[in-house]
Amino acid sequence: MSDAGSLQALVQALRRLPGVGVKSAQRMAYHLLQHDRPGAQVLAQALQQACEHLGHCERCHTFSEQALCAICRDGERDATRLCVVETPADQAAMERTGAFSGLYFVLMGRLSPLDGVGPADIGMQQLLQRAADGVVQEVILATSFTAEGEATAHALSQALRRAGVRVTRLARGVPVGSELEYVDLGTIAHALADRR
């Protein structure tokens, strides 16, 4: 491979990251090669290590180096509450709040028929089995409030309710610290409809 070929391969590899276009990938590649070769080596090694050692937790599907992740192994967690999230990043965000002490089920995506993502692709059957294990008393749907996230929550809610499981959905509304005049109209409408 020529010198330009190696650089082009690096740029193309960086473009695989979400939100990274050609210009951003080029900037990253040049920065790493010009100013931070040790950082490039650390990045390459960390990626290699993660690819070799990270798999999915057998119970919740989040990333884990062991068969069960640390949360699923934690006997202090409330096993009666199961929070369903789309991604490990969503799970991490929930954990950072410190407000949830139950267990998780990570879908690793959301329903998107246009992209060929159906119920089997997000583990709906495994979720139904886990929710009907006799321990779980409430499933909290914490999918995003996008069209796909809403469709996923609706499909999961219907299936879980048919199975006799109590289902709740994250509330949505006006963000704390925001001024009403700057909040989008859809958020205000939902906050008004879901007021308590």
pLDDT number for residue 196:
65
Q: What is the DSSP letter of 110?
A: -
pLDDT number for residue 58:
94
- pLDDT tens digit at each of 196 positions of the chain: 456 789 999 999 999 999 999 999 999 999 999 999 999 999 999 999 999 999 999 999 999 999 999 999 999 999 999 999 999 999 999 999 999 999 999 999 999 988 899 899 999 999 999 999 999 999 999 999 888 999 999 999 999 999 899 999 988 887 888 887 888 888 888 777 776 6
Which residues is 140 bridged to in the sheet?
83, 168
Report pTM: 0.82
Q: Are 12 and 24 in contact (CB under 8 A)?
A: no
Domain boundaries, the chain: 6-53, 79-169
Angle, helices 37-53 vs 22-35, to 10°: value is 110
Query: Quick one: CATH architecture of 6-53?
Result: Orthogonal Bundle (1.10)
pLDDT number for residue 190:
78
CATH node for 79-169: 3.40.1360.10
Question: Chain centroid to CA 189: how far?
Answer: 26
pLDDT number for residue 22:
95
pLDDT number for residue 128:
93
What pairing do the DSSP bridges indicate for beta strands 138-141 and 166-169? parallel
pLDDT number for residue 3:
61
Kindly compute the dihedral angle of the four CA atoms of residues 176, 177, 181, 186, in this order, to the nearest 10 degrees.
Answer: -20
